[in-house]
Structure 1
Amino acid sequence: MATDVHGPVTTGAAKPPAPASAVRVEGLTRSFDGRAVIERLKLDVRPGEFVALLGRSGCGKSTLLRILAGLDRDIEGTVLVPRRKAVAFQTPRLMPWKKVWRNVLLGLPGKPERTVAEKALEEVGLTHRSDAWPKTLSGGEAQRASLARALVREPDLLLLDEPFGALDALTRIKAQRLVGELWQRRGCAVLLVTHDVEEAVLLADRVLVMDGGVIAHETTVDLDRPRNITDPRFAEVRAGLLERLGVATAAEAG
């Protein structure tokens, strides 16, 4: 029987999440047309921990994130996550007929005041664009609006599905720095799905590699922050992860 638990709701014999875990997954299986994309997967994320998830295309990374977000419930196993969670995707998914501040409040219960949106927009440096229409935003601005929409929910778990993938190199660096600062300020748990090994090492406390439908490898990134990509220790961690992914050098990864 499938057991899917999001927040305090429980099904079957599942127990509430332990205080020591922001995410607890046991025996998770997700199949499509009889083929298991995720199979008996186990995952734990501590409160306040930043975890990055790497893996080849099609390995199930985004499927796992959608399950944790409550967007895919056709599963077997146990999934325990906080009630307060938010997700930001690679595509900002802003409603073009709503101004930026209204997009930030989209989906919130009740009738929150504009000041709630303005506070979140201030955190991501976008207050000056609160009255703009989404079509007038740059790619980086649209992604910051998407982050503000996630942050306004005061999440205990922030799920990021390749949020920087469509950005140019310079904007991507700024967005990565912003996410790192927001995480340190907010203190929520973060799970980042990415194809970028350097990005994972730059941001995460722990990097997981998904393969064959399971978490096949994990690396603790024990480097001081802010991290320097020219640090030999950074290069060593990156090289080890590239090797685990079957890539001999960083140049080949591109």
Structure 2
Amino acid sequence: MATDPHRSVTGRAVHVEGLTRSFDGRAVIDDLRLDIACGEFVALMGRSGSGKSTLLRILAGLDRDVHGTALVPRRRAVGFRAPRLAPWKKVWRNVLTGLPGRPERALAERVLHEVGLGHRVDAWPSALSGGEAQGVSLARALLREPDLLLLDEPFGALDALTRATDRRPAGGDLWRRRGCAVLLVTADVETALLLADRVLVMDGGRIVHEQPVALGRPRDTADPRFAALRSRLRERLGAGPAAEAA
């Protein structure tokens, strides 16, 4: 089946079927199947080398040497670990970089305020902390109004997302108000459970566990239901493929 990373399927932001990616004869992504609904927040976890970041790069259109099908929206934005800010531009100009026409400063101010960085609008990138720089990168991605937001362990950006979740009523999260789907690669169990509708665990290039998070928002880490999900997920992350199959 040919891979086309530029189409979407009605009702689904992501549709992956039979996806395989190999390096030097070793399958890093192995006959993978995955669907992400429009507006759904999915957290992807797994040990180093399990294929998480490779999958994200494929969905971002940065790796096309694959077999199988990967259908995604044309409008998608990526937040990687490195924020990649232009040091000669102030924060608000970095947020607007790449937008067509002559976008107004007010657009940058609005989205920076949403991620908790309204006070850094006129700062230079050199004056930002690592977390603030990644928050700016997140703001830049959100301003593109993506239908799919791909995040690869952006720790500072995760802080911004978690703050937004904690301070807003249920249904008012940044990505929900924009209606975009999110695929987040993270190693942090609590962050995954605070933000995601569903947590997936990868091992050996496949999805070996799926954990729905049927909790209201905002979520409380002291909630016994949250604690139970956290313990269950940590156990799954410590299990290998054989244990999962059992």
Partner of 2:215: 223
Seen in structure 2, the aligned counterparts of structure 1 residues 149 and 172 have a Cα distance that, compared at 3 Å, is closer
- Distance in 1 separating the partners of 2:159 and 2:63: 31
Structure 1 residues 115-130: aligned runs within 5 Å: 115-130=106-121
Partner of 2:196: 204
Contact 1:54 1:195 in 2 (8 A): yes
Displacement of 1:175: 4.5
Could you list the per-position Cα deviations for residues 80-124 of structure 1 after superposition, in whole angstroms to 9, with x for gaps in the alignment? 111111111222121212221221122223443333323322322
Displacement of 1:173: 4.9
2:99 aligned with 1:113, yes or no?
Answer: no
Could you list the per-position Cα deviations for residues 6-37 of structure 1 after superposition, in whole angstroms to 9, with x for gaps in the alignment? 24xxxxxxxxx321101101111111122110
2:205 aligned with 1:195, yes or no?
Answer: no
Equivalent in 49, 53, 60 of residue 44 of structure 2: 53
The SS at the match of 1:22 is: strand
The SS at the match of 1:225 is: coil
Contact 1:2 1:74 in 2 (8 A): no
The SS at the match of 2:226 is: helix
- Distance in 1 separating the partners of 2:159 and 2:117: 17
Unaligned ranges ≥5, structure 2: 167-172, 240-246
The SS at the match of 1:142 is: helix
Partner of 1:251: none
2:162 aligned with 1:176, yes or no?
Answer: yes
Partner of 1:74: 65
- Distance in 2 separating the partners of 1:203 and 1:125: 17
- Distance in 1 separating the partners of 2:165 and 2:34: 23
Seen in structure 2, the aligned counterparts of structure 1 residues 179 and 111 have a Cα distance that, compared at 3 Å, is farther
Equivalent in 191, 216, 239 of residue 231 of structure 2: 239
Contact 2:161 2:174 in 1 (8 A): no
Partner of 1:5: 5
Q: Which moved more, 1:237-246 or 1:120-129?
A: 120-129
Contact 1:59 1:211 in 2 (8 A): yes
Displacement of 1:2: 4.3
Partner of 1:139: 130
Displacement of 1:231: 1.4
Contact 1:204 1:221 in 2 (8 A): yes
Could you list the per-position Cα deviations for residues 153-180 of structure 1 after superposition, in whole angstroms to 9, with x for gaps in the alignment? 001111111111xx5xxx9655522267
- Distance in 2 separating the partners of 1:173 and 1:119: 18
State the AA in 2 paired with 1:207: V
Q: Which moved more, 1:126-135 or 1:33-42?
A: 126-135
Seen in structure 2, the aligned counterparts of structure 1 residues 111 and 77 have a Cα distance that, compared at 3 Å, is farther
2:163 aligned with 1:163, yes or no?
Answer: no
Partner of 1:154: 145
State the AA in 2 paired with 1:4: D
State the AA in 2 paired with 1:215: I
Could you list the per-position Cα deviations for residues 14-67 of structure 1 after superposition, in whole angstroms to 9, with x for gaps in the alignment? xxx321101101111111122110011011000111100010011110111111
Unaligned ranges ≥5, structure 1: 8-16, 248-254
Partner of 2:78: 87
Partner of 2:243: none
Seen in structure 2, the aligned counterparts of structure 1 residues 93 and 102 have a Cα distance that, compared at 3 Å, is same
TM-score (norm. length: structure 2): 0.87
- Distance in 2 separating the partners of 1:130 and 1:216: 43
